[in-house]
């Protein structure tokens, strides 16, 4: 027997489907000096008892990418590693009971086709041809996914393990990691068999991930649900039908009723995501177990009764079968239900690939993504939806439990664009929260911060139910229009708590920052946008840079980017520079619109003639504030940055001064409309690592004269080759819904691009979309089509500049 390894380049903690896939992909990338530690036998966590469904369906582009990759990988894996597996590609039908649900299917089918998958929408009558035993009288239609199927999770894990071993990677079973410590640049992973010294550690510990995270000082945002499926005995009619047609039934998902029903041998497997769900290991009398290997929870059929009855009404054949077995196992959830794959926030050379809710269908893709993070420091697809840094530390256990249960209970719910589920709110409140609330604010959470989305007028429906629609004109629409027009004609104020703020100072600051961003660092007293590219020239992040002094800058970035941007800056910081986070010290009001100067003039003696993209210190009612002359709304305006303790008085003084000038509070929905008309990109929608800085149309933020900056070589090579895709603004004559993210753009019957954001522009009276288009078509006046929920509508490429105030005259006024 080989000796226990005392060193390795990478140690993976956890031998479920995900850990095994991570090891396999690392080995395939040539990183064979990798060891996987499993405390018990491989699959002992959630993997052994998983149902093994392998859908490709997702309303998230990146997760669909991951699942599509998994399905492709699994098809060839048995042969590739010489380990035959039970993988049945049965296809699936996903039932729709409403027009809104069918729109979801159309959207996902559109994305799927763009990823090369032939997903199909079936009418109620066609569903029966795929699934003969179905009651269809109350259906609106279905989505057919020919790639869906089920795999034996244990065989999958063993196949991945075999492939990894064959390439030289090692697996130590019955060998728990018991702790880690840092020595110099190395991690020491402790086990009862001895220490392993390594460069990189991966937490792939499934529902134990929180315990493992603690060793790194990391509070993994997660909780554990109990999830059940039921196995039903052989049904002779089903056996006979299967013998006749020579294949199994497609997997059935009744998503509006919230369960799947799969043919299992000649019987069924029924798996609900029930509303009356149950969390485990969250109370003192139900502590987290030291070890739960190969164990299950007791059956809890009471919770499932409604679902069994519903499934029997849908597929009456099920009534004939005896229930033979219930599997009730632990399944981990993050607060948004997506897994954690990527860098462990704030911890060097440590990664996470854990907390998977759909870890069988995602294992393949997750292994690829994790291996890319480890070996290249970046991933092929933008994976923000799964990036551990999307959580920032405010997610305490109570929050994780509430959100996890909420996601589980709505696992199949439609992700409407204006809707958010109500749990876990009011985690962080602006100091003027009560005041904006009194004015009718309806809030949304941004990194835990409550920000006004819109201001409801008397009689407006501000209910959560009111937002469960794809339609543009929900209850908020009229109010948002008034807010936008107030910003256009008079002035608006938006209370914007939660910006992430980092101050960097010391000799060499500017030289360092010049190497980090693609463009120029502004002069003292000025501010501007800085784009941070990766080595491939792709857009990592965008920050506003205020030059405070010769050797000092203040970087302000999105609330949700807090952990991401902090990690990026700190991990690239030159030694000797001082880094200070000031996120909690300050807050911000956006004051914008043609009357904003007159309003400010009443409350401060600051020089309000200072040009666009300058900042100055000013006094408002005795409070020292920073006035930054910028407006994401694209009008004359200032951001008023005040110390948190001064913010309430500043807000009140400005509001009072605004009364005579038509000042009106506005919210994030209006800001979205205004910024899209102005062609201003939003991070992780329009700006992501799916695009390079040049594709993103950010050429004017690239300073080629600089000797070097991160990504320069790649961007220069791209420039030389010719940029193949270009950022464009479009106007679209769509129906009653604005195009969701990744709606496809068509030209001469071919897909030639996609939207990255779209919204109704109230100033321009048009549906405005931002997107990426094949470069040869990216010229003003090109007529395109845009596919929205399966229908193609005319769209027109606009000129180089934004469609609102293309010469920036209003903003510079
Ligand atoms: C009833 C049920 C049905 C499901 N059906 C599906 C399905 O149809 N499709 C789907 O995609 N997903 C399904 N899932 C979810 C799926 O099971 C999980 O998402 C998946 O198994 C997670 O894999 P993993 O490798 O991340 O974690 P796990 O399989 O839990 O693996 C983690 C491993 O880490 C090991 N470990 C923990 N701590 C240590 C340590 N300190 N040292 C060494 N090893 C350690 C554990 O022993 C464990 O083996 C289902 C879950 C349940 C409960």
pLDDT digits (tens, 9 = 90+) for 751-760: 999 999 999 9
Mean pLDDT of 118-136: 94
Q: Tell whether pTM > 0.85.
A: yes
> Is the beta carbon of 177 within 6 A of some atom in ligand 1?
yes
- Closest ligand 1 atom to 52 CA: 8
Output DSSP code: residue 84.
-
CA dist 556 and 683 (Å) reads 13
Q: Which residues face 205 on adjacent strands?
A: none
Q: Which residues face 538 on adjacent strands?
A: 692
> Is the beta carbon of 47 within 6 A of some atom in ligand 1?
yes
User: Does position 588 have pLDDT exceeding 90, yes or no?
Assistant: yes
CA of 15 to the centre of ligand 1 (A): 9
What stretch of H or E contains 144?
strand 141-145
Angle at alpha carbon of residue 466, lines to 462 and 468, rounded to 5°: 140
Identify the pLDDT of residue 1.
62
Q: Taking the CA atoms of 536, 541, 542 and 547 in sequence, report the sign of the dihedral they define.
A: negative
User: Does position 770 have pLDDT exceeding 80, yes or no?
Assistant: yes
621: left (phi over 0), alpha (psi -120 to 50) or beta: left
CA dist 150 and 185 (Å) reads 42
- Closest ligand 1 atom to 150 CA: 8
CA of 297 to the centre of ligand 1 (A): 15
> Is the beta carbon of 176 within 6 A of some atom in ligand 1?
yes
Quick check: 691 and 772 in contact, CB under 8 A? yes
CA of 207 to the centre of ligand 1 (A): 7
- Report the length, in residues, of the chain: 813
| Pairing assessment for the beta strands 552-557 and 783-788 based on DSSP bridges | unpaired
Share of the chain above pLDDT 90, in %: 99
> Is the beta carbon of 227 within 6 A of some atom in ligand 1?
yes
Report the candidate in 317, 303, 176, 323 with the shortest Cα–Cα distance to residue 236.
317
CB atoms within 10 A of CB 165: 17
Quick check: 666 and 476 in contact, CB under 8 A? no
- Closest ligand 1 atom to 207 CA: 30
Cα 658 to its chain centre, rounded Å, is: 38
| Pairing assessment for the beta strands 7-13 and 196-203 based on DSSP bridges | parallel
pLDDT digits (tens, 9 = 90+) for 28-46: 999 999 999 999 999 999 9
CA dist 42 and 56 (Å) reads 25
> Is the beta carbon of 332 within 6 A of some atom in ligand 1?
no
CA of 262 to the centre of ligand 1 (A): 21
What stretch of H or E contains 76?
helix 61-81
Considering just the CA atoms, what is the radius of gyration of the chain in Å? Answer: 27
* φ, ψ for residue 759, nearest 5 deg: -165, 165
Share of the chain above pLDDT 70, in %: 100
Q: Which of 63, 359, 404 to mutate to test the pocket of ligand 1 (most atoms within 8 A of CB)?
A: 359
CA dist 449 and 424 (Å) reads 11
CA of 153 to the centre of ligand 1 (A): 10
User: Does position 557 have pLDDT exceeding 80, yes or no?
Assistant: yes
pLDDT digits (tens, 9 = 90+) for 148-173: 999 999 999 999 999 999 999 999 99
Helix (H, G, I), strand (E, B) or coil at 227: strand
Pick the residue whose CA is nearest to atom 46 on ligand 1.
45
CA of 358 to the centre of ligand 1 (A): 9
> Is the beta carbon of 19 within 6 A of some atom in ligand 1?
yes
CA of 120 to the centre of ligand 1 (A): 31
Structure tokens that stand for 754 in this block:
């996609």
> Is the beta carbon of 71 within 6 A of some atom in ligand 1?
no
Quick check: 100 and 470 in contact, CB under 8 A? yes
Structure tokens that stand for 449 in this block:
């911060």
> Is the beta carbon of 160 within 6 A of some atom in ligand 1?
no
Report the candidate in 127, 137, 324 with the shortest Cα–Cα distance to residue 235.
324
Mean pLDDT of 385-392: 98
CA of 208 to the centre of ligand 1 (A): 9
> Is the beta carbon of 17 within 6 A of some atom in ligand 1?
yes
Structure tokens that stand for 184 in this block:
């110099």
Report the mean per-residue pLDDT for the chain: 97
pLDDT digits (tens, 9 = 90+) for 726-751: 999 999 999 999 999 999 999 999 99
| Pairing assessment for the beta strands 223-232 and 267-272 based on DSSP bridges | antiparallel
DSSP 536-561: TSBEEEEEEEEEEETTEEEEEE-GGG
Pick the residue whose CA is nearest to atom 20 on ligand 1.
359
- Closest ligand 1 atom to 191 CA: 42
DSSP 22-56: HHHHHHHTT---EEEE-SSSTTTTTGGG---B---
User: Does position 800 have pLDDT exceeding 90, yes or no?
Assistant: no
Q: Which of 208, 298, 337, 352 to mutate to test the pocket of ligand 1 (most atoms within 8 A of CB)?
A: 208
> Is the beta carbon of 58 within 6 A of some atom in ligand 1?
no
Pick the residue whose CA is nearest to atom 50 on ligand 1.
50
CA of 198 to the centre of ligand 1 (A): 24
pLDDT digits (tens, 9 = 90+) for 191-240: 999 999 999 999 999 999 999 999 999 999 999 999 999 999 999 999 99
CA of 267 to the centre of ligand 1 (A): 25
């Amino acid at each position: 027997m080989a000796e226990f390894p005392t060193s390795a380049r990478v140690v993976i903690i956890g031998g479920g489907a995900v850990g095994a896939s991570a090891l396999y992909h690392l080995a395939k990338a040539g990183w064979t000096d990798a060891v996987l530690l499993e405390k018990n036998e491989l699959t002992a966590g959630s993997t052994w008892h998983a149902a093994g469904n392998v859908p490709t369906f997702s309303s998230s582009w990146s997760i669909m990418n991951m699942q599509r990759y998994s399905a492709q990988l699994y098809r060839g894996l048995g042969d590739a590693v010489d380990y035959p597996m039970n993988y049945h590609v049965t296809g699936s039908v996903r039932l729709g009971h409403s027009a809104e649900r069918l729109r979801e299917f159309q959207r996902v089918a559109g994305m799927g086709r763009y990823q090369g998958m032939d997903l199909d929408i079936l009418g109620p009558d066609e569903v029966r041809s795929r699934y003969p035993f179905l009651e269809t009288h109350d259906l609106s239609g279905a989505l057919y996914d020919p790639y869906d199927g089920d795999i034996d999770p244990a065989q999958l894990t063993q196949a991945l393990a075999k492939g990894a071993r064959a390439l030289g990677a090692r697996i130590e079973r019955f060998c728990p990691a018991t702790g880690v410590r840092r020595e110099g640049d190395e991690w020491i992973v402790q086990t009862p068999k001895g220490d392993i010294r390594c460069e990189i550690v991966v937490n792939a510990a499934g529902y134990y991930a929180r315990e493992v995270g603690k060793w790194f000082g990391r509070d993994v945002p997660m909780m554990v649900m109990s999830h059940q499926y039921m196995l039903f005995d052989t049904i002779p009619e089903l056996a006979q039908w299967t013998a006749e047609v020579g294949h199994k039934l497609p997997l059935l998902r009744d998503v509006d009723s919230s369960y799947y029903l799969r043919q299992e041998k000649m019987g069924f497997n029924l798996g609900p995501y029930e509303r009356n769900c149950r969390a485990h290991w969250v109370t003192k009398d139900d502590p987290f177990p030291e070890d739960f290997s190969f164990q299950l929870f007791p059956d809890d059929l009471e919770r499932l009764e409604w679902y069994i009855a519903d499934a029997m009404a849908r597929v009456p054949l099920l009534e004939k079968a005896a229930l033979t077995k219930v599997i009730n196992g632990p399944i981990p959830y993050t607060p948004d239900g997506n897994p954690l794959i990527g860098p462990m926030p704030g911890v060097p050379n440590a990664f996470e690939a854990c907390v998977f809710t759909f870890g069988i269908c995602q294992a393949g893709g997750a292994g690829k993504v994790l291996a890319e993070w480890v070996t290249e420091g970046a991933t092929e697809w933008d994976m923000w939806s799964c990036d551990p840094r999307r959580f920032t530390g405010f997610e305490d256990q109570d929050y994780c439990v509430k959100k996890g249960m909420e996601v589980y209970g709505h696992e199949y719910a439609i992700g409407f664009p204006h809707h958010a589920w109500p749990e876990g709110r009011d985690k962080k409140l602006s100091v003027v929260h009560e005041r904006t609330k009194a004015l009718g604010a309806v809030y949304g959470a941004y990194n835990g911060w409550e920000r006004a989305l819109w201001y409801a007028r008397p009689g407006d429906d501000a209910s959560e139910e009111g937002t469960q629609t794809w339609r543009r004109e929900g209850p908020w629409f009229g109010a948002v229009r008034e807010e936008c027009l107030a910003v256009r004609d008079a002035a608006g104020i938006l209370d914007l708590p939660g910006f992430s703020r980092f101050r960097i100072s010391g000799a060499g600051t500017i030289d360092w920052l010049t190497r980090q961003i693609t463009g120029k660092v502004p002069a003292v007293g000025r501010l501007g946008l800085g784009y941070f590219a990766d080595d491939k020239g792709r857009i990592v992040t965008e920050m506003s840079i205020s030059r405070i002094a010769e050797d000092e800058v203040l970087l302000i970035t999105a609330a949700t980017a807090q952990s991401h941007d902090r990690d990026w800056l700190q991990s690239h910081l030159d030694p000797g520079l001082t880094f200070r986070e000031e996120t909690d010290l300050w807050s911000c009001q956006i004051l914008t619109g043609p009357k904003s100067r007159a309003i400010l003039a009443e409350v401060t003696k600051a020089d309000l003639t200072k040009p666009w993209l300058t900042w100055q210190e000013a006094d408002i009612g005795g409070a020292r504030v920073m006035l930054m002359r910028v407006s994401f709304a694209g009008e004359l305006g200032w951001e008023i940055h005040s110390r948190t303790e001064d913010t309430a008085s500043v807000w009140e003084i400005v509001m009072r001064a605004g009364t005579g000038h038509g000042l009106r509070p506005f919210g994030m929905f209006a800001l979205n409309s205004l910024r899209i008309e102005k062609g201003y990109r939003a991070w992780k929608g329009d700006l992501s690592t799916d695009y390079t800085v040049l594709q993103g149309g950010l050429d004017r933020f690239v300073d080629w004269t600089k000797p070097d900056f991160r990504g320069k070589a790649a961007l220069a090579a791209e420039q030389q080759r010719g940029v193949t895709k270009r950022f464009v603004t479009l106007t679209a004559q769509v129906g009653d819904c604005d195009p969701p993210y990744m709606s496809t753009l068509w030209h001469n019957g071919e897909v030639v691009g996609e939207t990255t954001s779209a919204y109704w522009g109230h100033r321009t009276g048009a549906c405005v979309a931002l997107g990426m288009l094949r470069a040869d078509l990216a010229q003003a006046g090109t007529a395109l089509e845009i596919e929205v929920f399966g229908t193609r509508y005319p769209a027109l490429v606009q000129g180089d500049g934004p469609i609102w105030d293309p010469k920036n005259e209003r903003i510079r006024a």
